[in-house]
Amino acid sequence: MKDCLICKTPIEPFMSFGKMPLGNGFLLPSEFEQEYFYEMLVGFCPVCNMVQLLEQPDRERMFHENYAFFSGTSSFMAKHFALFAQDVIQDYLTGSTDPFVVEMGSNDGIMLQNFAQAGIRHLGVEPSRNVAEVAIARGIRTVTEFFSADLASKIVAENGQADAFLAANVMCHIPYLHSIAEGIKVLLKPNGVLMFEDPYLGDVVEKTSYDQIYDEHTFLFSVTSIGYLFAQYGMEIVDVVPQHTHGGSMRYIISHKGARPVSERVHAQRQKEIAMGLNRPETFDQFRQSCETSRGQLKQLLEGLKAEGKRVVGYGATSKSTTVINYCGITPDLVEFISDTTPIKQGKYSPGAHIPVMGYEKFTENYPEYALLFAWNHKDEIMAKESAFIQSGGRWIVYVPAVGIV
C-alpha cells in the first residue's frame, strides 16, 4: 500500500511491470553493471481518480546535465508549439501591457522561442542543464532549476506575476504536485492562466498505449483528477482541448476560481470519463489484461520474424520504448539496433535490454525488412519521410492501438 500522491488515500497497485530501468537511461557497456532499476508499480486512486506510479527514482537521476530528450527532434512538435504559443498570445496576452510568460520544463526552448521572437517577456524553468543550454544559446531566458513553490516566490519577487504559466509534457512528471500548484497559485496574476498538456489517460486506456507509463511519467491525468487537485488551491479548469500529440493528449486551461467562465467542454469531458469507466478500478484490471495480450502478440510476431530470418530494426529510441522492450522481453536478437536522430543517444545501448542505438544513416544505408515503430506518436511525420524504405520493400511493425504489420 502507498498513499495517493494527490489525496493521501492508501492505494494498491493494479499492475506491476516488474523491475524497470530509466526510460531515458541510454548507457555505455562500462555502465551496464551498475545500471539502476526500480519496481514499476501502477495504482489507481478511487477517491481522486489519479493513476500514478507507486515508486519512482529520485528526480536528479532522471533530469540532469546529460538528459537524453531534446524536444526539437520533431518538426511536427515545433509546429505544434508555434500554434500553442499563438493561441496563448491571441487569447490571453493581448489585454496586458508588458505581458510575462513562464514555462516549466522548457527544454531546448521549442515553445518559448515563439515568445522570444515576438519580443514577449518570458522565463523558462528547466533543470536539465544540457537542454537548457541549447535554449539559452538561442536567446531564451532560462533558469536551470526545478520549479517549486519556493522558486515561484523568487520569480514573482524578480519579475512580478505572470499572465500565463505553461507546461507541456512535464506536469505529469512531477510527484510533488502540491508544491507546483502552490507555486502556480502565487505566480499567476488574478486574471492569469495556467495551460498545460500531457498524455491523456482516456487515450492510454482506449489504445492500450501502456508505453506511456515509465519512470518520468508519475501520473496519467484525466479532467477529473486534475480538477480535484487544483480545486484544493482555489483554482478551476475553465477549458479542455484534446490534442493529437504524443498519441493523444489533453490541454487543460485553468484559472483562479471565478476569474473566467467555465466552458461546457469541461463538464462534457468529465461525463465522457465516467462513460469510459475512468473512475472505476475494474477498468484498470481490464487495462492490465489488454497490456498482457498486447505483449504476447508483439513477442510472438517478433519471434516469428526471427525464425524466418528477417531483419527487424527499431525506429526511434523513445523513452516509451524502454517500457515496451523490457516488459515484452525484446532482446538484441529480435531487434538488431534502434535508429535515432538524437546525437546523445547514438553509440549507446537501450536501458535494460541493451539494444544498440545507432544514427539514422545506419537505417537508410541498409534498409531492414521490418522497422518496429517505437516513435508511433510521430507516425505521420515519419511515414511522410520514409517512402524510400517502403519502396525498398520495407514494412512497419506497430503495436498501438493494436499489434500488426502495416
Pairing of strands 249-256, 235-243: antiparallel
Our separate counts of H helices and E strands in the chain read 14, 19
- Pair 164, 102: CB distance under 8 Å: yes
Residue 85 interface partner, choices Zn ion, ligand SAH, ligand JHZ, none, CB cut-off 5-8 Å depending on type: none
Q: CA 103, CA 88: separation in Å to the nearest integer? A: 12
**For residue 351, cis peptide bond before it (omega within 30 degrees of 0):** no
Q: CA 71, CA 319: separation in Å to the nearest integer? A: 13
If the CB atoms of residues 191 and 232 are measured against Zn ion, the closer one turns out to be 232
Q: Which of 44, 48, 54, 42 is nearest to 291 (CA)?
A: 42
Give the shortest CB-346-to-ligand JHZ separation in angstroms: 10
If the CB atoms of residues 4 and 166 are measured against Zn ion, the closer one turns out to be 4
Give the shortest CB-46-to-Zn ion separation in angstroms: 8
Q: Using CB under 6 A as the criterion, which residues of the chain lie in contact with ligand JHZ when the complex forms?
A: 69, 73-74, 169, 216, 316-320, 340-342, 345, 375, 377-378, 381-382
Residue 372, classed as helix, strand or coil, is strand
Give the shortest CB-167-to-ligand SAH separation in angstroms: 7
Q: Let me know how long the chain is.
A: 406
Give the shortest CB-122-to-ligand SAH separation in angstroms: 14
Give the shortest CB-360-to-ligand JHZ separation in angstroms: 6
Give the contact letters, 147-176, x = binds to ligand SAH (CB under 6 A), - = no.
Answer: x--------------------xxx--xx--
Q: Which DSSP string do the residues of 68-87 spell out, in sequence order? A: ---GGG-HHHHHHHHHHHHH
Q: Tell me: does residue 215 bind ligand SAH (CB under 6 A).
A: no
If the CB atoms of residues 106 and 342 are measured against ligand JHZ, the closer one turns out to be 342
Residue 337 interface partner, choices ligand SAH, ligand JHZ, Zn ion, none, CB cut-off 5-8 Å depending on type: none
Q: Tell me: does residue 45 bind Zn ion (CB under 5 A).
A: yes
Q: Which residues contact 387 (CB under 8 A, 6 or more apart)?
A: none
Give the shortest CB-370-to-ligand JHZ separation in angstroms: 16
Give the contact letters, 52-71, x = binds to ligand SAH (CB under 6 A), - = no.
Answer: -----------x---x-x-x
